[in-house]
Amino acid sequence: MARLPANILERLLNLRFSQSTNCKRRLIRDFKRLSTDPPGGISGSPCPDNIMLWNAVIFGPAETPFEDGTFKLVLTFDESYPNKPPTVKFLSRMFHPNVYANGELCLDILQNRWSPTYDVAAILTSIQSLLHDPNPNSPANAEAAQLYRENMKEYVRRVKATVEESWLDPDDKLEGCGRGAGWRRGPILSLWSSLVCLSSYVIM
Amino acid sequence: MKVTVKHWHAVAQWRWDTGASESEGNDENEDVCGICRVPYEGCCPSCKMPGDDCPLIWGECTHVFHMHCLLKWIGTPASKQQCPMDRRTWVTAERKVGNS
């Protein structure tokens, strides 16, 4: 029986898989970096059954009105990552000049100032510093921007309400992975399941 | 005592000459392509074999990437032909490519 020469077979496999595996390989490296050398106040991991979909938490930076908040986000990657940024969305309700009502962000590095040298850790760190330093000149939430400029006391009060809300986010509000499974198990268990998922990707 | 060599293996190691000396290159991030995060001596995610088929590319801004990674980025409209590290317009440095 005729056999396909190995190099042709390999090339066919490459055609079929290369684009998506490139992106997955990079995401596995991102996850490794995020778990071995995590920047303070952020955490994130891919869904156990879909590495293109990540859940993340940003802890509100100290000495800002966001302090003590646990803000959940979902990051959706497509095959052009890292040449294209992921879609990033807050799942927790936010009150911030640069966050739209639907949770999407107005952040230059996720739009026209994206660079393929950014990784998940860099994205989450940038968002964390956006909480610190809102940019009221390109408002996504006009009310938040106005209060930030003109009525700091009321701005702080409104933000603090979202901080308390962030602790109560019910699982079924999370549309990311594992509806109902991920967060209730607590960070250690979900980190563990992510590691298991990481090792299964490596074996693959 | 007399020694007779029956057989021997030659072993060689290579690395790209990125201009960074061994001692300088201690920091982990120094030696990986900033785009795919794979070491320079590995290959870009689209290639199977490291070496001349998956070379590095140097910019005049001194930044170094796997050639395939950089060209893929420069090929996207979003890149605006800029270096991913410093956003300067990418100009490939002539000196290194092909003779290292």
Q: What is the ipTM of this complex?
A: 0.77
A125 membership: H or E segment, kind and range: helix A120-132
The residue-averaged pLDDT of A25-37 equals 93
A interface mutation test: which of B37, B44, B69 has the most A CBs within 10 A? B37
CB A57 within 8 A of CB A45: no
Cβ distance of A119 and B37 shorter than 8 Å: yes
Q: A20-29, A68-77, A190-199, B7-16: which range is least confident on average?
A: A190-199
The more confidently predicted of residues A140 and A181 is A140
Quickly count helices (H) and strands (E) in chain A: 5, 4
Q: In sequence order, what are the beta bridge partners of B65?
A: B57
Give the pLDDT score at A183.
47
Residue B42 distance to chain A (closest CA, Å): 13
> Using the beta-carbon criterion (under 8 Å), do B85 and A115 form an inter-chain contact?
yes
Q: Which CATH number covers residue B98? A: 3.30.40.10
Top pLDDT among A137 and A94 is at: A94
Domain that holds residue B55: 1-100
Give the pLDDT score at B97: 47
Contact A61, A40 (CB under 8 A): no
B37 reaches A (C-beta below 8 A):
yes
Report how many domains make up chain B: 1
Residues of A marked active site are found at 106
**pLDDT confidence band for B16 (50 / 70 / 90):** confident
Q: What is the pTM of this model?
A: 0.77
How confident is residue A186, by pLDDT bands cut at 50, 70 and 90?
very low
Q: Which of A8-22, A106-120, A147-161, A162-176 has the lowest mean pLDDT?
A: A8-22
Q: What does DSSP say about strands B56-58 and A50-59: parallel, antiparallel, or unpaired? A: unpaired
